[in-house]
Structure 1
Amino acid sequence: MDITVTAEEPKDSKLVATLTVPAADVDRAIKAAYKEVANKYNFQGFRKGKAPRPVIDSMVGKQNILADATNDVLAQAEPLLLDQLDIVPVGDVDYGENLEPVAEHNDYVVTVTIDLIPEAELISYDPVSINMPPAEVTDAEIDQQLEVLMGYQAHYDEAEEGAEVATGDIVKVTVKDIENGERFAGDDRMLMTGSGMLPEALEEALVGMKVGDSKEVAFEMPGAPTEDDQEPEPVHVVIDVTLNEIQVKHVPELTDEFVDSAFGFENVQALRDAVAAEIKADKDQHLPSLKEERVIVELTKRSELEEVPEDYVKQVHDEIARQFLQDLQAQGQTVDSFLQMRHITMAQLMADMQEQAAEHASQSIALDALARHLDLQLTEDEVKTEFADVYGVKDVDKVMADFKKNGQMPAVRQTIRRSRAVKWLLDTAEVTEVDEVAEKRAADNQ
Structure 2
Amino acid sequence: MNITVTAGDPVDSKLSADVTIPADDVNKAVAKAYKDIAKRYNFQGFRKGRAPRPVIDAAVGREAVMADATNALLSAAEPLVLNELDVVPVGDVDFGEDLESAQEKQDYTVKVTVNLIPEAELSSYDPVAISMPPADATTAEIDQQLDVLMGYQARFEDADGDHAVVSGDFVNVDVEDIENGERLAGENRMLATEAGMLPEALEEALVGMKPGDEKEVEFTQGEGDDAQTVKVKVKVKVNDIKVKVVPELTDDFAKDVFGFDGLDALRDAVSIEIKGDKDRNLPALKEERAVTELEKRLEMETVPEDYVKQVHDEIARQFVSDLQAQGQTVDSFLQMRHITIDQLLADLQLQATEHARQSIALDALARHLAIEVTDDDVKAEFSDVYDSDKAVKKAMKEFAESGQMPAVRQTIRRSKAVSWLLDNAQVTEVDEIAEKRANN
How does the TM-score come out when normalised to structure 1? Answer: 0.92
- Counterpart secondary structure, 1:114: strand
Is contact 1:23–1:108 with CA below 8 Å preserved after alignment?
yes
- Counterpart secondary structure, 1:19: strand
Aligned to 1:406: 402
Deviation at 1:351, TM superposition (A): 2.2
1:427 to 423, 426, 432: 423
Is contact 2:363–2:414 with CA below 8 Å preserved after alignment?
yes
Supply the distance in 2 between the matched residues of 1:418 and 1:15 (Cα, whole angstroms): 21
Supply the distance in 2 between the matched residues of 1:258 and 1:78 (Cα, whole angstroms): 69
Match runs of 1:12-31 below 5 Å: 12-31=12-31
Aligned to 1:360: 355
Structure-2 change in CA distance of 1:175 and 1:72 (3 Å): closer
Deviation at 1:339, TM superposition (A): 3.1
Aligned to 1:82: 82
Residue 369, structure 1, aligned to residue 364, structure 2: yes
Supply the distance in 2 between the matched residues of 1:77 and 1:250 (Cα, whole angstroms): 71
Bigger mean CA deviation after superposition, 306-315 or 247-256: 247-256
Deviation at 1:336, TM superposition (A): 3.1
Deviation at 1:380, TM superposition (A): 2.0
Supply the distance in 2 between the matched residues of 1:426 and 1:149 (Cα, whole angstroms): 34
One-letter amino acid of the structure 2 residue matched with residue 402 of structure 1: E
Deviation at 1:220, TM superposition (A): 1.6
Deviation at 1:377, TM superposition (A): 1.3
Aligned to 1:172: 172
Supply the distance in 1 between the matched residues of 2:184 and 2:104 (Cα, whole angstroms): 76
Residue 149, structure 1, aligned to residue 149, structure 2: yes
One-letter amino acid of the structure 1 residue matched with residue 259 of structure 2: G
Aligned to 2:71: 71
Supply the distance in 1 between the matched residues of 2:364 and 2:209 (Cα, whole angstroms): 57
Match runs of 1:71-110 below 5 Å: 71-110=71-110
Match runs of 1:306-345 below 5 Å: 306-345=301-340
Structure-2 change in CA distance of 1:40 and 1:272 (3 Å): same
Is contact 1:205–1:215 with CA below 8 Å preserved after alignment?
no
Supply the distance in 1 between the matched residues of 2:299 and 2:246 (Cα, whole angstroms): 52
Deviation at 1:131, TM superposition (A): 0.6
Supply the distance in 1 between the matched residues of 2:384 and 2:166 (Cα, whole angstroms): 56
Is contact 1:231–1:347 with CA below 8 Å preserved after alignment?
no
Match runs of 1:374-393 below 5 Å: 374-393=369-388
One-letter amino acid of the structure 1 residue matched with residue 216 of structure 2: V
Q: How many residues align?
A: 437
Deviation at 1:187, TM superposition (A): 4.4
Residue 234, structure 1, aligned to residue 230, structure 2: yes
Deviation at 1:63, TM superposition (A): 0.2
One-letter amino acid of the structure 2 residue matched with residue 361 of structure 1: A
TM-align CA RMSD: 2.1
Is contact 2:176–2:235 with CA below 8 Å preserved after alignment?
yes
Is contact 2:377–2:412 with CA below 8 Å preserved after alignment?
no
1:267 to 258, 262, 267: 262
Unaligned runs of 5+ in 2: none
1:6-34 Cα offsets, whole Å, 9 max, x none, are 11111111111111111111111111111
Is contact 2:220–2:229 with CA below 8 Å preserved after alignment?
no
Structure-2 change in CA distance of 1:379 and 1:184 (3 Å): closer
Supply the distance in 2 between the matched residues of 1:364 and 1:101 (Cα, whole angstroms): 38
Aligned to 2:40: 40
- Counterpart secondary structure, 1:130: strand
Bigger mean CA deviation after superposition, 253-262 or 158-167: 158-167
1:242-286 Cα offsets, whole Å, 9 max, x none, are x33332222111111111111111110011011111111111111
Deviation at 1:320, TM superposition (A): 1.5
Supply the distance in 2 between the matched residues of 1:289 and 1:207 (Cα, whole angstroms): 38
One-letter amino acid of the structure 1 residue matched with residue 201 of structure 2: A
1:5-62 Cα offsets, whole Å, 9 max, x none, are 1111111111111111111111111111112222333333334333222121111110
One-letter amino acid of the structure 1 residue matched with residue 397 of structure 2: A
Aligned to 1:397: 393
Supply the distance in 2 between the matched residues of 1:221 and 1:427 (Cα, whole angstroms): 45
2:439 to 436, 443, 446: 443
Bigger mean CA deviation after superposition, 33-42 or 309-318: 33-42
Structure-2 change in CA distance of 1:322 and 1:11 (3 Å): same
Supply the distance in 1 between the matched residues of 2:327 and 2:160 (Cα, whole angstroms): 51
The share of aligned pairs that are identical, in percent, is 64
Structure-2 change in CA distance of 1:200 and 1:388 (3 Å): closer
- Counterpart secondary structure, 1:253: coil
Supply the distance in 1 between the matched residues of 2:206 and 2:58 (Cα, whole angstroms): 85
Is contact 1:231–1:348 with CA below 8 Å preserved after alignment?
no
- Counterpart secondary structure, 1:308: coil
- Counterpart secondary structure, 1:329: helix
Supply the distance in 2 between the matched residues of 1:72 and 1:24 (Cα, whole angstroms): 14
Bigger mean CA deviation after superposition, 171-180 or 373-382: 171-180
Deviation at 1:183, TM superposition (A): 4.6
Bigger mean CA deviation after superposition, 103-112 or 181-190: 181-190
One-letter amino acid of the structure 2 residue matched with residue 287 of structure 1: L
Unaligned runs of 5+ in 1: none
Is contact 1:202–1:217 with CA below 8 Å preserved after alignment?
no
Residue 415, structure 1, aligned to residue 411, structure 2: yes
Supply the distance in 1 between the matched residues of 2:344 and 2:119 (Cα, whole angstroms): 29
Is contact 2:13–2:117 with CA below 8 Å preserved after alignment?
yes
Is contact 2:159–2:243 with CA below 8 Å preserved after alignment?
yes
Supply the distance in 1 between the matched residues of 2:188 and 2:330 (Cα, whole angstroms): 36
- Counterpart secondary structure, 1:167: coil
Deviation at 1:294, TM superposition (A): 0.9
One-letter amino acid of the structure 2 residue matched with residue 101 of structure 1: S
One-letter amino acid of the structure 1 residue matched with residue 244 of structure 2: K
